[in-house]
Every structure is written in structure tokens, then in C-alpha cells.
Amino acid sequence: MPFSKIYYLYFSPNRAYIRKLKNVLGFVPGNIKLYKMAFRHKSVAITIKDGVKNSNERLEFLGDAVLGSVVAELLFKLYPYKDEGFLTELRSKIVSRVNLNQLSRKLGFNEFIEYDARMISYPNKQSSLLGDAFEAVIGAVYMDRGYTFTKEFLLTRIIKPHVDIHKLEITETNFKSRLIEWCQHFGKEIQFIQVDNPPGDSTKLFNVQVLVDGAVCGLGRDFNKKSAEKLAAEKACEFLKVFETEEFSR
């Protein structure tokens, strides 16, 4: 190991954090500020310029793109005779919020996330914390080490040991249909309601809330209304633990 990394691990002011992160990631992180930002939720971030906060949202955006690219290439090579629809559906299953939340927890990312403790009172707002941090970490690795390293990291450290692609292939993850089925089974009323953007948000996104028995259980945002409904249903499934209910754990 180069002396610079030895110094970094054992003499840096952040050495305890770096060693802990190394145990999770499997390599010595370079720019530690990137990784700290990857685990910082907007609820504890500060504004740095023009209303932009030093939260993990920008890294999340980047990580989402890198993850999608790596998974798309993997599936393209793994299934040479499958059509675009099959590949798109399977990629969606792998990068779904439910799956990324599980991966984030399995990898131990939950021990690093910084967020306002008052969010504990709002489980539906917590449901995406893990998945968001997962994507932000991928963005941090990309900025720190580049695409080739990040691709290898995803394939060998995360996807190969933790993602059963063939099992996901036969797993039903139509979140909206499953959520409606779950609500019908338990006699609950479900509504998908389009709402306005938050104050100050000028993006042209569809905002859809899922209400179960009048309580908001998920929010989806996308440029396409149907996609926003799917995202909202996915978050509601995670919040209500639909896939953990015995009758629905196919």
C-alpha cells in the first residue's frame, strides 16, 4: 500500500471514519468530503450558493445515471436475445428504490447517513433515505475514482454478491398493481392524487401522492404522470411493507 494511503488510514484526522468506510466499500476512499456529502441528507445540509445545499442530491443524480449505465450494459451482455422491453423491466427491478434500500442496509450504509432526527416521526419520508444514499455513494465513487473503477466496484462488490438477477427476473414488481391488490385484500381505500410542486420548485414534474385510508404513504415525481404514479406506489409498498406480508411474499 502506498505511503500516502497508509498515512491517510492511520494519521489523518478522519482516520476512524476512513477506516470504517474502507471496511464497507472495500477500498481506501480518496476525497473523503465527497463520501461525507453522499451520506448527508438535505434535512441537515446548509446552503452553499444560489439556494443549493451541500446535501447528497447532486451526487444521487450522478450515481443514478452511472448505476443505470452499468446495469444496462450488464443486462445487454447477459441476455443477448431479449428485447428492449425485457431489459428495461429487469433494469427497473434492479435499480428500484425497494432493492436499493435493501442493498444500502445490507452494505451498512445506514450507519453513515446524516439526517434530521425529527424525521423518525415520518417513516414515509425515511423510506427513500437508504436508496438515495446508495446512489449518492455511487456518484461519489465515480467522482473519486472514475467510471472504470466504479463499474468494477458495482459489479464485483455489490451486484455479483448481493443481487440475484435471475431471481429478480421472475419476481413480480408491478408496484402499483401489487399495492392495489394489497389494499383490496385488507379492505383499505387507495387514492392516487396529483399535487402541486413544493413552494419555490419550478420544475415541470408530475407530483403524485398515494393515500391509503386517507394517509399519505408515498410520493412520486417524474416528467411522466404514469411514471410518477409507479414511483409513488413503490415508495408506498416500501412504507407499508407490502412485500413482507406473508400472503404477498411471492
Kindly list the catalytic residues.
64, 135
How many CA atoms are closer than 13 Å to the CA of 132, on its beta-carbon side?
18
Q: Angle CA(29)–CA(31)–CA(35) in degrees, nearest 5?
A: 70
Integer Cα distance of 243 and 102 in angstroms:
12
Give whole-number Cα distances, 98 to 67, 89, 210, in Å: 15, 15, 16
Residues paired with 215 in a beta bridge: 212
Q: How far apart are CA 244 and CA 115, in angstroms?
A: 26
d(CA 4, CA 88): 43
Between helix 57-78 and helix 84-94 the angle, nearest 10°, is 130
